[in-house]
Amino acid sequence: MNHKRSLWYYIKRDRFMYLLLLPGVLWYFIFHYVPMYGVIIAFKDYKPFFGIEGIFTSKWVGLQWFRKFFKSVYCARLLKNTFLLSFYSLAVNFPSAILLALFLNELKGKLFKKTVQTISYLPHFLSAVIVCGIVREMVSTDSGLFNALIKLFGGKPIPFLSRPEWFRTIYISSGLWQGIGWSSIIYLAAMSGLDQELYDAARIDGAGVLKRMRHITIPGIRQVISIQLILAVGGILSVGAEKILLLYNPQIYSTADVISTYVYREGLGNQNYSFGTAVGLFGSLVHMVLILGTNFIAKKMGEEGIW
């Protein structure tokens, strides 16, 4: 009987699997577990130039940095901005990528399809600094295309990057511009794997395009969608600082300042790594709760989770 077999039996049976896992396990140990001691500086008063010894010798300060963060008048605003920015991004980008994949998938002209696909991937190869450079150029009141159009129709130019109410739109639409084509790849890949006979059968039954999408394509890629969603939700609080740092200014802090930019100003500007680490740790905890939560819900709904 199975359960009577010794552990050794299983190890021997799966020896090749363990062999394949070994390099990865070692890699994780060296590149993740060895430097993990650094996390203690979240509870210490540490400055980077103390060197590596300083991590151990610097003064313990307990939860001081966590208190500093939660006591800050900006705590609530930072959490709100971080959450809203990533939530809106998710709400816009996630369905858009699926929609694009659906539309691309239905295109008949092979060449046209390929061309659109190629064009849509292109912005993904640009780094944040370039994208932000383009964004700044596009929304500028003097040389920007948008304001040129506004002026053409007799409107008054809008200083987009000076208006807090515009920041989220700019951030999200530039993200969409950059990422939509790329994010659709994974769905297109999944769609191409779907059984063509199902489509043919549906066509014979007289099902229209939209019906086929709803009843064949979407259910067919459900699992991919659910996994992508879990991954996306997991990253909901990890709004990258780089793009915002390149776009924001004090006038629009009220909507643009997020946890990571705050940590960048406070932590790196003042060489206060302890504070940055502490806030990072807090972010990780939220991250974990979100991932486990979505995973749990996905499984409850009968989808395959990550675990």
Partner 1 sequence: MKRKPFYISGEKIFQVVDVVLMSMLALIIIIPFFTVVMTSFVSEAEIARRGSFIMIPESFDFSAYWVLWNGRKAIIHAYSNTLFRVFVGTALQMAMTICFAYGLSRKGLKGRGIITTYVFITMLFGGGLIPNFMLVKSLGLLDSRWSMIFPGLISTWNMLVMRNFFMAIPDSLKEAAIIDGANDVQVLTRVVLPLSKASIATIGLFYAVGHWNAWFDAMIYINDKNKLPMQNLLRNIITATMGLDDMGSGLMNNLASKPPTQAMRSAVIIVTVLPILFVYPFIQKYFVKGVMVGSVKG
Partner 2 sequence: MKRKILAIFVAMGMVTGLLAGCSGGTAGSEPATQGETSTQKTDAPADKQTETSGSAADNGEIPTITIYNNSGAMVAGADGTGISSEEDYKMVQDYILEHTGVRVEIISPIGADESKLATLISSNQIDGWWGDWSSYADDGIIMPLNDWKDMIEKYYGDDMVKNMSDADGNLWGLGRNVSATYYPVFVRNDWLEQMGMDMPETIEDLNAYLYMVKEQDPFGNGETIPLLAHSVDDLENTFLGGYVAGGTDYWLDETDGKLKLYWMADGYKDFLAQAHQWYEDGILHPEFLTFEDPGDMREYVAQGRVAATACWYSRITGVEETTAKNVNLDTSKWTYTFGWNSKGITGPNGQPGQTLSLGGRSGLLISSRCEHPEAFFKVLDWALSPVGEEDAVPNMPEYATYYNLFRDGMVGKVWEYAEGEDGEIGTAFIPGQSQHATDFAIFDGSLVSLRPASKIKYANGVWDMHDFFWGWSGTEYDTGGTARSTPCVIPEIKQTTIILNTALSATSAVGDVKTYRTEEMAKFLKGERALDTYDQFIEECYEIGLDEMINSYTEQYNAQH
Contacts to partner 2 from residues 274-303, by CB under 8 A = 275
Dist. CA 306–CA 269, nearest whole Å: 38
Quick one: which segment of 47-55, 117-125, 194-202, 277-285 binds partner 2 (CB under 8 A)?
47-55
**Partner whose binding site includes residue 163, from partner 1, partner 2, none (CB under 5 to 8 Å by kind):** none
Closer CB to partner 1, 158 or 185, in the complex: 185
Q: Residue 111 interacts with partner 2 (CB under 8 A)?
A: no
Rounded to an integer, what is the distance from CA 152 to the centroid of its chain? 37
**Partner whose binding site includes residue 185, from partner 2, partner 1, none (CB under 5 to 8 Å by kind):** partner 1
The number of C-alpha atoms within 13 Å of 34 and in the hemisphere containing its C-beta is 8
Q: Residue 296 interacts with partner 1 (CB under 8 A)?
A: no
Dist. CA 115–CA 121, nearest whole Å: 10
53-72 positions binding partner 2, by CB under 8 A: 53-54, 64, 68, 72
Residues contacting 106, CB < 8 A, separation 6+: 209, 213
Dist. CA 198–CA 212, nearest whole Å: 9
Q: Residue 273 interacts with partner 1 (CB under 8 A)?
A: yes
Q: Site for partner 2 (CB under 8 A): how many residues? A: 46
Question: DSSP secondary-structure letter at 73?
Answer: T
Q: Residue 162 interacts with partner 1 (CB under 8 A)?
A: no
SS3 label, residue 236: coil
CA distances from 77 to 73, 173, 255 (A): 8, 22, 8
Binding residues for partner 2, rule: CB under 8 A, are 19-20, 22-23, 26-27, 29-30, 34, 45, 47-54, 64, 68, 72-74, 136, 140-142, 157, 159, 161-162, 249-251, 253-254, 257, 265-266, 268-273, 275
